[in-house]
């Protein structure tokens, strides 16, 4: 796949979020014209620099008024990507576009959404219009994948993390775990019925795997689906379901056969069906992401909503886990960078004993060590993404990478809180919020213990 091969429609989609008042226009598309792919990317990059005034230090100012505390500074090309062989001008163009969307549509409201416990549904529609929801999904279902690689996906994760609220990416992008099993295993009718409204932001889809009696032990899930004529009758429940309160559809793991992995199927359950009950769960972190306990009592689901073959759902679940863990690892790097940036800014401004905090050797050592841990983990994330792109990936790597990333985030968040001192314990700082959200990253998607045991068994043998 060639980098930077975007259609006019895709270019216009990214350009359309330029923040202009009134009808949306596409000045970047006009500026870039019909240039060849790489030339278009470079022209887009130049146009971005022309649209936004720069200071003498090379910083690009946002095109909307946002409290400086709500966003990190925009630069012509973020340093860590500029020095990487995996990112080019197309990745930077995407970063700038998503960054403006976050500054305009998210940053001014994130604290209120955190307090309210969920994202507004209209945010999904706006994200779809900006081209965010459809990134790297097939064009025939309303997405845009041509010219985009998995590094563009990492860039998207990075930019959504800028507000320091993990619930934003978890809930806004919940289709990232709910939709892939349908696209990979579902019938063409099911794909065309579900994918377009989800990618347009009209419908919300979630994933239902975890149960109250078991999380990572997926092969022993208890929710049943019994065939009755043209329907399946579902009984049981799911726990800790992201976007569970707002979801219109649930890609749900059920038992249709005997014990173990060979008896598991995937069903698409319509969440307004009779017999579906939802209970909101309050949480330590990810507060703007609604989380639910879901109970099914004789819920009838059309057999046409079966995703893939009956008793063949386990492979779809496992396939999802690898991409989810890579995404979580990238999120940990992104949030760690946010925490480090806030700590560094505080250290440069806060004075103790007659000099800035950063003037003390112990603080400089903390900041440098935080940077060391972030850079090493990012290198592994990028390597894993390249291995996926090249077909050289293995599940054990994603399991170990997730552990590395979550432990790194825990260490960086702790040290950032130490640098901020009492300010980190007061709501309002990004470090306070990120510190609360460390645990969900370490547990969700597979706990450290399960991940390391999985990697150990795959690499060195042995049975449970």
- List pLDDT tens digits, range 273-285: 999 999 999 999 9
CATH number for the domain formed by residue range(s) 204-312: 2.40.110.10
- What torsion do the CA atoms of 149, 154, 155, 161 make, to the nearest 10 degrees? 160
Average pLDDT, integer, range 401-429? 94
CB 236 within 8 A of CB 222: yes
d(CA 420, CA 435): 12
Q: What is the pTM of this model?
A: 0.81
**Model confidence at 122, in pLDDT bands (50, 70, 90)?**
very high
Domain covering 8-173 assigned CATH 3.30.160.250 in the classification = no
Q: Is 131 exposed, middle or buried (0-12, 13-18, 19+ CB in 10 A)?
A: buried
The whole-number pLDDT of residue 319 equals 81
Any catalytic annotation for residue 375?
A: no
**pLDDT tens per residue across span 13-43:** 443 343 433 333 333 332 333 444 344 334 4
d(CA 63, CA 28): 14
The whole-number pLDDT of residue 55 equals 30
Select the more confidently predicted residue: 178 or 38: 178
Pick the catalytic residue from 324, 342, 432, 437: 324
d(CA 257, CA 232): 12
CATH superfamily of 317-460: Butyryl-CoA Dehydrogenase, subunit A, domain 3 (1.20.140.10)
C-alpha distance across the termini of the chain, in Å: 41
**Model confidence at 308, in pLDDT bands (50, 70, 90)?**
very high
d(CA 422, CA 428): 12
Backbone angles phi, psi at 115, to 5 degrees: -70, -35
Break the chain into its structural domains and give their ranges: 8-173, 204-312, 317-460
Count of Cβ atoms closer than 10 Å to residue 85 Cβ: 7
272, pLDDT greater than 50: yes
Per the structure block, which two tokens stand in for 460?
Answer: 């060195």
Average pLDDT, integer, range 105-111? 96
d(CA 454, CA 430): 33
d(CA 151, CA 389): 9
**pLDDT tens per residue across span 49-72:** 332 233 322 332 223 333 434 444
Average pLDDT, integer, range 182-206? 97
**Model confidence at 463, in pLDDT bands (50, 70, 90)?**
low
């Amino acid at each position: 796949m060639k980098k930077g091969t975007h259609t006019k429609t895709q270019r216009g989609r990214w350009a359309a979020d330029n923040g202009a008042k009134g009808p949306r226009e596409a000045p970047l598309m006009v500026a870039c014209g019909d240039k060849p792919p790489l030339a278009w990317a470079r022209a887009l990059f130049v146009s971005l620099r022309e649209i936004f005034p720069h200071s003498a230090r090379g910083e690009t100012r946002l095109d909307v008024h946002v409290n400086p505390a709500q966003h990190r500074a925009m630069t012509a090309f973020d340093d860590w990507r500029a020095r990487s062989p995996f990112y080019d001008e197309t990745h930077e163009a995407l970063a700038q576009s998503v960054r403006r969307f976050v500054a305009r549509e998210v940053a001014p409201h994130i604290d209120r959404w955190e307090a309210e416990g969920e994202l507004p549904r209209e945010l999904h529609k706006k994200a779809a219009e900006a081209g965010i929801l459809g990134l790297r999904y097939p064009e025939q279902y309303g997405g845009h994948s041509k010219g985009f690689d998995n590094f563009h996906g990492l860039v998207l994760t990075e930019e959504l993390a800028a507000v320091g609220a993990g619930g934003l990416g978890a809930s806004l992008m919940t289709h990232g775990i709910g939709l892939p099993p349908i696209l990979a295993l579902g019938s063409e009718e099911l794909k065309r019925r579900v994918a377009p409204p989800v990618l347009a932001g009209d419908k919300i889809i979630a994933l239902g795997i975890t149960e109250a009696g078991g999380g990572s032990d997926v092969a022993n899930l208890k929710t049943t689906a019994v065939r009755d004529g043209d329907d399946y009758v579902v009984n049981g429940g799911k726990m800790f379901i992201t976007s569970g309160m707002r979801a219109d559809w649930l890609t749900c793991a059920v038992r249709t056969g005997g014990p173990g992995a060979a008896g598991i199927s995937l069903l698409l359950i319509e969440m307004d069906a009779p017999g579906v009950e939802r209970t909101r769960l309050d949480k330590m972190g990810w507060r703007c992401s609604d989380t639910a306990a879901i109970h099914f009592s004789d819920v009838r689901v059309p057999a046409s909503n079966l995703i893939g073959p009956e008793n063949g759902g386990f492979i779809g679940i496992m396939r999802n886990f690898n991409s989810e863990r890579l995404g979580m690892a990238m999120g940990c790097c992104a949030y760690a960078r946010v925490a480090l940036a806030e700590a560094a800014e505080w250290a440069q401004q806060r004075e103790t004993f007659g000099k800035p905090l950063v003037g003390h050797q112990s603080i400089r050592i903390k900041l440098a060590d935080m940077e060391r841990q972030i850079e090493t983990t990012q290198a592994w994330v990028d390597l894993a993404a390249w291995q996926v792109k090249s077909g050289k990936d293995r599940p054990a790597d994603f399991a170990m990478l997730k552990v590395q990333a979550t432990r790194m985030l825990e260490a960086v968040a702790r040290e950032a809180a130490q640098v901020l001192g009492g300010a980190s314990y007061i709501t309002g700082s990004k470090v306070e919020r990120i510190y609360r959200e460390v645990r969900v990253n370490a547990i969700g998607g597979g706990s450290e213990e399960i991940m390391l045991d999985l990697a150990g068994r795959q690499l060195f043998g042995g049975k449970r």
